Structure 1
């Protein structure tokens, strides 16, 4: 996947290649959160439309880059990835969004480019209420649908899936489904520690704030016992006092499920509500990384927050395993976590004198060269020492 952004908050002009696992390091204010918010923004556009997604962030003027000598008037986001069946890393699908202001009025332009069989491609462009489809190899393309509900400033991500198959409705729907599934995950500890409503079906989707952690873990234990035992073993490795994780289902109208921690030396199990901040964050992150049906991409900010350093090596191992079925974009301030990474997994972030984020601030090739020159010094120590830039 490659993300290109212009004039979105501090991201004046960045082009970021993202592998299966990408971990951002850098000081506060370097733009890590803003990069994560690009993916939240794309998901919000599909779920609420373009105008509400902007208003949620304070409006278009608050989203625009505010540094430099000249005031920005437009922003753009471009994302290339393999979403549709005939795309591949060398010939990915592409989605582009541009938003600008003219005479106190907002405009948007979107385009979709996707692969077709036998190496050809098709492109759909939307500007205002006008839709155009490029020449393609599909036979007998008919007239574009006229009444699919697109308006001047509504997002094509939510309306173009209504197009016919010949006009690319299926491909746009596939792209939109992937973008809408993007998850920005942050364990809300106060919510996660509470009992959850008993799940009513065979599946329980883990919420972005882990507020249904108890129900998700219970469902995982019932539906995927082998995966559940692996999660418990991981928790026991990091929490030496933990013997097992159980569930209580008190009777009553609430129909709640409660997580119970069986701890060494205690006569009674401890409810999750009484567990430590770090324990709850750890269980929330393990739940995320063992999710059997993850979204296309998951963003995690300050993944190390509240965790003991001994948990980080295990966490990186599980991140790599999870990245085999979902892309992961992670932000951290922990040199100990960065120590566990390979050069191609690290993205160094900085900010220049004009207030613009520099991401990546160091190329993978330069990181590899610096590591080699240091005779294999771990990445976290090199970053902490300033050898990689992106100071703490």
Structure 2
């Protein structure tokens, strides 16, 4: 696989007010970022900001649906919010050369019927405001403030790149037990818990699929040195399965399917596949689960090797101090 010649967009900065447990937070983000802290410190809540932006532009989502998915404005709003209770999100999107190629801001509350309503929507390119709401039309029709321009294809032409970028965000928290379910992929698409993980591999063009599996195999050797080969096959019912060939006392080695993989190995395979499958920001929850500490400390290196080829941003929440022992992690990450 050739190294990418251009770097995908990423989140470079985030500013949030009155979001869940944060009264206010402002963070610069690198292409790789690790969110560390004890339980209930807000790691998942911060990742949820990016999921929320994704849900606004996703099919069947929209502003109203995204807020409802989070439990409504009352559940989203920080309990410490007092005089100023609007929820505000501002993100900068760009790369190392142009950190603020785009700035998107949304500020909202709820009306008397507890419906989410916009207080502000703003899109900025360097030196130019593309969108400022509310505008005159909004002031004359309050119903317009129940939708963002971001989600409307007939209104976001001038900044559709922002909508497409938000749509490319992916959240993943693979549960091995779900991956192993025989009917895991039925009715599921982009399941954040891995229900359609093997189906996604199966639907990938063969040449691309095999190249990715070889790359995953190479990266996984740090954690599973006995692994010699990875391949996908379908059983008699057409259900896809992943199997690996392991070094064995027999010359020809031994094959194991995903139902025989350890939880940690299966989760790592899923996370690495996701890191290779797309260019948008990837949000990962606790990749260290079910892994030995000596393996956990190599996770940053694994993702870094993948990022050299994809350039995609990876944001990781973790409880593990072992994961942070990698000397290659910068202070700004």
TM-score range, shorter chain: 0.7 to 0.9
Match runs of 1:124-135 below 5 Å = 124-127=131-134, 130=137
> TM-score of the superposition, structure 1-length normalised?
0.69
Output the aligned Cα RMSD.
3.1
- Which of these two proteins has the greater Rg computed from alpha carbons? 1
Are the counterparts in 2 of residues 281 and 307 from structure 1 also a CA contact under 8 Å? no
Which position in structure 2 is the counterpart of 1:75?
Answer: 87
Shift, 1:153, TM fit? 0.6
TM-aligned CA deviation for residue 278 of structure 1: 1.2
Distance change in 2, residues 1:80/1:91 (3 Å) = closer
2:319 pairs with 1:333: yes
Out of 204, 214, 229, which is 1:229 matched to?
Answer: 214
Instruction: Could you tell me which runs of 5 or more consecutive residues in structure 2 were left unpaired when the two chains were aligned.
Output: 1-11
1:110-149 equivalent positions in 2, closer than 5 A: 110-115=121-126, 120-127=127-134, 130=137
Could you tell me how far 1:77 is from its partner in structure 2?
0.3
Alpha-carbon distance change, 156 to 27 in structure 1, aligned in 2, over 3 angstroms: same
Aligned partner of 2:4 in structure 1 is none
Query: Residue 89 in 1 paired to residue 76 in 2?
Result: no
337-346 or 120-129, larger mean C-alpha shift: 120-129
Residues 131 and 173 (structure 1), Cα distance of their counterparts in 2 relative to 1, 3 Å cut:
farther
Structure 1 residues 197 and 102, CA gap change in structure 2 (3 angstroms): closer
Q: Which residue, out of 107, 119, 132, partners 2:117?
A: 107
Tell whether 2:265 aligns with 1:256. no
Structure 1 contact 302–331 (Cα < 8 Å) conserved: yes
Which 4+ residue blocks in structure 1 deviate beyond 6 angstroms? none
What TM-score do the two structures reach when normalised by structure 2? 0.81
Residue pairs, 1:1-392, within 5 angstroms: 1-47=12-58, 48-67=61-80, 70=82, 73-82=85-94, 89=98, 91-101=100-110, 103=112, 106-108=116-118, 109-115=120-126, 120-127=127-134, 130=137, 151-159=144-152, 161-163=153-155, 169-194=156-181, 207-218=191-202, 222-224=206-208, 225-251=210-236, 254-263=237-246, 264-265=248-249, 269-291=255-277, 293-295=278-280, 297-324=281-308, 325-340=311-326, 341-346=328-333
Q: Does the CA-based 8 Å contact 1:220-1:227 persist in structure 2?
A: no
Helix, strand or coil for the counterpart of 2:298?
Answer: helix
